[in-house]
Structure 1
Amino acid sequence: MAKRVYQVWKGNNVFIFRGRLIFGPDARSLFITISLIVVPVVIFCVFVGRHLLHKFHPYNAGYAVLVVAIAFTIHILLLLLVTSARDPGIVPRASHPPEEEFSYDTSEVGGRHTPSLQFPRIKEVMVHGKAVKVKYCDTCMVYRPPRCSHCSICNNCVERFDHHCPWVGQCIGQRNYRYFFFFVSSSTLLCIYVFAMSALYIKFLMDNDYPTVWKAIKKSPASLILMIYCFISLWFVGGLTGFHLYLIGTNQTTYENFRYRADNRSNVYNLGCLNNFLEVFCTKIKPSRNNFRAYVQEEVARPPTISRAREVEDEPAGGPRAKVEDDLELGGDLLKISQRRNYEEVDEEMGGRNSNGIHSVLSESELVIDPDTQAPVSRSEVRDSSLGRTSRNWDILPDVMATSSSATEGGVPLQKDAR
């Protein structure tokens, strides 16, 4: 039964719902992230929000406090799911290196010219009229597109790679960066909202029966805990939001900012602050280049590539090529012998070739005619003087005779049996 792509995926990703959702290998950290969001909101709704329902008398506006908190939380969880469960922009792997980039370099090793396979590790492509270097990935066997990098955690090349976020358990790349920013900025707003509503409840307590801050806090310790938690969280998600606003305005990624900060190189991707924001938030997100639910198609076996450099390789005398020529010549002579009963005619036709021909073989072996096949059979070991090798007792088999016949038909015409 054919397997689907997600079942044979070579990356470290985790798939659920039969390849419909893709996560990083550290997807379990999502449970921690969800807990850090949901638990404070539940505490807020139970110990703070419900006491504010009747504090805003016109139109029962106090109910909006709970509605906003719950709706905002659901919105953030959906953004977290979209960020973590979709393809961030994975570049499909190749099954073999790019052959169009191959080059053969003939180097002399041990007195012989040995061809070696080479192809460039770095190429240059044009981006906005400027040359940008792209590198070859040994794992994915592709040249990475501009702004693409290989994530060592997910073991994938990701387009417009920003970073691998352990809090969402996924790489942040071209196809989920927008949702990641919305998730971080929305979390910042939720922290501000919970902090403000908790402080407002403390103010209401001080205005009624608890005139001091200490008494109000003793009445509602959950408000103090939430204020401290949101204040600490704001340093993290708030600072992250501000940092990514700077990256978007200058059209950088986190990876580029940390790696090329000291190089003082010009940013060829910077289109101006307004255009940079429009590129991130208003451009259409490209469809995924991977169909994880598709069936794997067996790759057709490719013919072996023959190196042209090998054609000019120097071959030593008496090497493999000379061996093949001697075998073909010997096979043609044996075929002529098998078609004649008078070996004196054969001797006259061969012209007395004693150096490399059939005489050297006949002088060292005794041939007889098999009455069934009319083919010569050797009774002793034969030493091929031209090859310098010894073979054991052998018979001329029909397939060998056919091969010899085809070899000799191309150069020496066969004669009919003279009887």
Structure 2
Amino acid sequence: MPYKLLNNFYIKLQYNHMSISKDDNLEQREPNTNKTFDFPSLPPELFNKYLWELWPGNNRFLFKGKFMLGPHCDNLHFYCTIAVLIVIPSGFFLLIANYLWENVSIVIPILSGYTYVACICFYFLTVFTEPGIIPRRNVFEALGGVPKEFTADVIFTEDGPLYKFCQTCEIYRPPRSHHCTKCNNCVELFDHHCPYLNNCIGARNYFYFFVFVTHLMMLGLIDISGFLAFLFYKPGDYDDTIINQTEVVLIITVILSLALSILTILIGILCIFHFSLCLTGETTKERIRGNKGSKKCMFWRNKKSRFNLRALLSSEQAKHLSPNSIEIEMSKSDSSRE
């Protein structure tokens, strides 16, 4: 049997010493039906598992647990966002950036390039940063034990009534933390789940999210000004564009301008909304429910993760996360006939 098939299984063989006939001129041995022996020791890495391989939530992982993504249900929104981030800026740089550089001003293409690079960087930082997930009880137990701040001991503290017991995670989650039904995790300082980013927005990635939204609004305003300068600053002169057909360039430019204007208005509203949240110390969920926030802005929060996705778990630790692990025992008849 290949070694790979032995992962997560505890193997014990039962065997009998078969009696040998006298014709073999060998010592006759009595059968021993009770004696057992352990299977020869195998490399530990065959039995050990990484935490990301046994993660109980709905998250996905890339590059052997180095990056965490949200659930599959966000794929449509997630891919549409990536397409918009590629198509509209590409149209700007391919169609009009050279014209603006040569005939209008180099400032607009430079600012557009900077904000676009910043948007991409903070976009993926928001997507791949663990948002502040509070592990479930079995994850804590596998990693060494549940901290007191997530046990029933917290109900005796001053803020005890604010702690709520999560039936799914089996922990007492801190104030302002909520269980995300899509990711199936409790998230500390939960703001909202964003399907366009395929991730929750919480204590550890809210700063990246806010900077991304701000730069995205700036990028929209800069590109709109570039489109307007391309259309009205020097009408009729489009020799510096890659596509030389004037009619095609005009049609594409007008379509991109209208689409970008609508998106910029929506993103601007979102940016203003989150700027107001930063001033009041609220989260999106608290604002919608009318709950009181905090005087402290969400930027200055503890950003240390509570777990390591690439932590290597022993077979004993993995029992807490894989309750369906099976112990294979070969029967006496099967082992004796092979």
Q: TM-score, with normalisation over the residues of structure 1? A: 0.56
Q: Pick from 274, 295, 298: which aligns with 1:280? A: 298
Note if 1:35 corresponds to 2:65: no
The aligned residue for residue 99 of structure 2 is 51
Note if 1:18 corresponds to 2:42: no
Q: 1:217 to 1:240 in 2, by over 3 A?
A: farther
The aligned residue for residue 215 of structure 2 is 186
Q: 1:173 to 1:124 in 2, by over 3 A?
A: farther
SS where residue 162 of structure 2 aligns? strand
Q: TM-score, with normalisation over the residues of structure 2? A: 0.68
The aligned residue for residue 270 of structure 1 is 294
SS where residue 12 of structure 1 aligns? coil
| Paired letter, 1:176 | N
The aligned residue for residue 240 of structure 1 is 270
* Moved >4 Å (runs of 4+): 96-101, 119-122, 216-219, 299-302
Identity value in percent: 30
Q: Retained in 2: the 8 A contact 1:13–1:154?
A: yes
Cα distance in 1 for partners of 2:247, 2:279 equals 42
Q: 1:256 to 1:99 in 2, by over 3 A?
A: closer
1:216-262: per-residue Cα shift (whole Å, max 9, x none)?
98872233222211211023211111111111111111111112x2x
SS where residue 55 of structure 1 aligns? helix
Q: 1:121 to 1:204 in 2, by over 3 A?
A: same
The aligned residue for residue 138 of structure 1 is 167
> Which one scores higher on RCO, CA 8 angstroms, separation ≥ 6?
2
| Paired letter, 2:121 | L
Q: Retained in 2: the 8 A contact 1:162–1:254?
A: yes
Deviation at 1:148, TM superposition (A): 0.6
| Paired letter, 2:173 | R
The aligned residue for residue 115 of structure 2 is 72
Deviation at 1:36, TM superposition (A): 0.5
The aligned residue for residue 312 of structure 2 is 295
Note if 1:174 corresponds to 2:203: yes
Give the helix-richer structure, 1 or 2.
2
Q: 1:218 to 1:34 in 2, by over 3 A?
A: closer
Q: 1:301 to 1:167 in 2, by over 3 A?
A: closer
Q: Retained in 1: the 8 A contact 2:115–2:218?
A: no
SS where residue 280 of structure 1 aligns? coil
| Paired letter, 2:95 | F
The aligned residue for residue 330 of structure 1 is none
Gaps of 5+ in 2: 1-45, 239-245, 321-338
SS where residue 229 of structure 2 aligns? helix
Q: Retained in 1: the 8 A contact 2:111–2:222?
A: no
Note if 1:149 corresponds to 2:173: no
Q: 1:294 to 1:99 in 2, by over 3 A?
A: closer
Q: 1:208 to 1:73 in 2, by over 3 A?
A: closer
The aligned residue for residue 255 of structure 2 is 225
Cα distance in 2 for partners of 1:296, 1:68 equals 48
Deviation at 1:206, TM superposition (A): 3.6
SS where residue 136 of structure 1 aligns? strand
SS where residue 45 of structure 1 aligns? helix
| Paired letter, 1:143 | Y
Cα distance in 2 for partners of 1:224, 1:244 equals 30
| Paired letter, 2:122 | L
| Paired letter, 2:188 | E
Cα distance in 1 for partners of 2:113, 2:319 equals 57
How many residue pairs get aligned? The number is: 258
Deviation at 1:205, TM superposition (A): 2.8
| Paired letter, 2:165 | Y
Q: What value does the CA root-mean-square deviation take over the aligned residues?
A: 3.2
SS where residue 164 of structure 2 aligns? strand
Cα distance in 2 for partners of 1:88, 1:300 equals 24
SS where residue 161 of structure 1 aligns? coil
Q: Retained in 2: the 8 A contact 1:124–1:133?
A: no
SS where residue 270 of structure 2 aligns? helix
Q: Pick from 182, 185, 189: which aligns with 1:160? A: 189
| Paired letter, 1:49 | A
Cα distance in 1 for partners of 2:311, 2:162 equals 33
Pick the structure with greater CA Rg.
Answer: 1
SS where residue 234 of structure 2 aligns? helix
1:136-162: per-residue Cα shift (whole Å, max 9, x none)?
011111100111100000010000001
Q: 1:91 to 1:284 in 2, by over 3 A?
A: closer
Note if 1:257 corresponds to 2:257: no
Q: Pick from 54, 61, 67: which aligns with 1:8? A: 54
1:320-369: per-residue Cα shift (whole Å, max 9, x none)?
xxxxxxxxxxxxxxxxxxxxxxxxxxxxxxxxxxxxxxxxxxxxxxxxxx
| Paired letter, 1:11 | G
Q: 1:284 to 1:253 in 2, by over 3 A?
A: closer
Pairing of 1:368-383 with structure 2 (within 5 A): none
